[in-house]
Amino acid sequence: MITEHKATLTIRGEAPLPISVLAPTQGKACLDIRTLGGRSGYFAYDSGFESTAGCKSKITFCDGERGELLHYGYPIEQLAEQCDFLEVAYLLKNGELPNAVQKQSFESAIRKQASVHEQMVKFYQGFRRDARPMALMVGVVGALSAFHHDAADFSDAERRKLSFHRIVARMPTIVAMAYKYSIGEPFMNPRSDLGYTANFLYMMFGTPRETYRPIPAMVRALNKLFIVQAEQGQDAATSTVRMAGSSGANPFACVAAAIACLSGPAHAGASEACLAMLEAIGDPTRVAEFIALARVDGSSLLQTGFGHPVYTNFDPRTKVMRAVCNELLEELGLENHRLFKVAKALEKTALEDPYFVENKLYPNLDFYSAIVQKALGIPASMFTCIIALARTAGWMAQWEEMLSDPEYKIARPRQIYIGVNRRNLSSSA
């Protein structure tokens, strides 16, 4: 990090204030305004924090204009092609990919922690059967704090590592249990002979009355979906982890807070909306009609799965998931399924239609994720849970990085007060 004094701020003719400019290793420079309030009496206003950096991080670099997403320097498309999810989780925590010995040790540690405490089963029974799975997850993940008091002491690196192992290992179990509870089927315990992703599919779709073995194509597809969703930098949910963690909260409570943030439709509800859009179109012959609606009045009907607020050029994750989508549909023999034919017709039209091309409304990650998860048999109500499962590794890496930052302090954003002025209560008669 290079600091240069080359900016000044002049307020109402007062003496100019020098402001340091922080130059990152990649990306845009940043004005250092940490001492602005004390020196000038003024504070900055930035609703949504779109022009404010709240932390320094080595984990993820995202450049939406260039269509680049790097984790510790590695492009996401290379990680998705050459690694499995646990290798990426290890990278996010440790800054380097594991060697063979480290990988085996890490996988063993995760496998050992995959089961949840038997008493946690009772938590699910306290929810209505029709409760949204994300609502269950907020409660159950938060409840991990009550089972692991030692996680509250994170001054020791080994305890932080144990917390990382515990929650990354148990998220597939917790998500699968949420699904099983919603459909009234018995919970399936994790198996020690299956890998991380295969185990999740087994716990989701296996039953005690029959032998279930995950199809390799399904495991590969879900593994890549986990990888592309594992970490995205400082989005709303990740910032929630850091803000909650800045108070010294238990890491499981911080992840529960992030899940609550992620559950909002403005954050991670797009894949579910994409599936609803495809079902609303219903038939490939109606694609042109729906495209015309979007072209004429700028309707948001079709824009849910197209374009991206961050990736204004292209999202590198989309290329990965498009290939996964095509491979999975072919492997499972679903190319002629009505809904997927709608998706392919919509994709083709959107990539060629001038309205979508001019406005850079290319099919996005949510579009392909919806198709992949539908093909895997995952219901739409679980789509956001899948993101939370994958994103937990990134959240925990961000939480630990925050703790190791010498500038780490409790978050305390300012506000611009716009209420009534001071006033007095009238005297009683």
**pLDDT at residue 221, as a whole number:** 97
Structural domain includes residue 363:
no
**pLDDT at residue 298, as a whole number:** 58
Structural domain includes residue 95:
yes
Residues 133 and 47 in one domain: no
Residues 13 and 107 in one domain: no
For the chain, the domain total comes to: 2
Structural domain includes residue 178:
yes
Residues 149 and 258 in one domain: yes
List, for the chain, all residue ranges whose pLDDT scores fall below the cut of 50: none
Residues 120 and 196 in one domain: yes
Structural domain includes residue 170:
yes
CATH number for the domain harbouring residue 204: 1.10.580.10
**pLDDT at residue 370, as a whole number:** 93
Alpha carbon distance 380, 274 (integer Å): 10
**pLDDT at residue 136, as a whole number:** 93
**pLDDT at residue 149, as a whole number:** 77
- Which residue of the set 84, 235, 315, 366 is catalytic? 366
Residues 15 and 104 in one domain: no
Residues 91 and 49 in one domain: no
**pLDDT at residue 314, as a whole number:** 76
Report which of 295, 315, 326, 298 is spatially closest to residue 363, judged by C-alpha positions.
Answer: 315
Residues 102 and 155 in one domain: yes
Residues 43 and 95 in one domain: no
Tell me the residue range of the domain where 25 lies. Answer: 6-53
Residues 36 and 116 in one domain: no
CATH number for the domain harbouring residue 31: 2.20.28.60
Residues 128 and 258 in one domain: yes
**405 classed as catalytic:** no
- Which residue of the set 165, 308, 315, 353 is catalytic? 308
Count CB atoms within 10 A of the CB of residue 357.
12
Structural domain includes residue 112:
yes
Structural domain includes residue 410:
no
**308 classed as catalytic:** yes
Structural domain includes residue 42:
yes
Residues 112 and 193 in one domain: yes
Residues 112 and 195 in one domain: yes
Structural domain includes residue 99:
yes
